[in-house]
Amino acid sequence: MELKGRSISKGITEGIAIVSKEPFSFLGGVNEEGIIIDKNSELYGESLKNKIFVFPYGKGSTVGSYVIYGLAKRGILKGIINKECEPIVATGAILGKIPLVDKVDIEKIKNGDRVVVDGNSGVVIIK
């Protein structure tokens, strides 16, 4: 299935989706190893390592951009898919060269789906 969206950060990547139905704050929400540490998150204890993180939109501090950048530099986060990207997540993804597409129906993506994020053309493919 192909979902057409909007390109936010360039690049193409493929991986397993990890899906949050709730908005996500990177500051205090994830540690430097990519483990979700927000106890209120449905994904508490899960790892973002080598995953495509799917969530509606980011929330919280602008420091979240640097957290995303750090995850990218450590090779942890492969890609991001949002329903509606906002500046904090966009900045972190662009700085970290993490492919990011938004304006897609994220409800069609399930935990464990293999997905391709094409940040060059703004397309997400669910395999």
The single residue listed with the structure tokens 């057409």 is 4
Q: Three-class SS of residue 19?
A: strand
Q: Which of 41, 49, 21, 10 is nearest to 106 (CA)?
A: 21
Task: Name the active-site residue from 9, 20, 25, 61.
Answer: 61
CA-CA distance, 127 to 117, in Å (whole number)? 11
Catalytic residue check, 61: yes
Cα-Cα-Cα-Cα dihedral sign, residues 116, 13, 11, 98? positive
Active site residues: 61
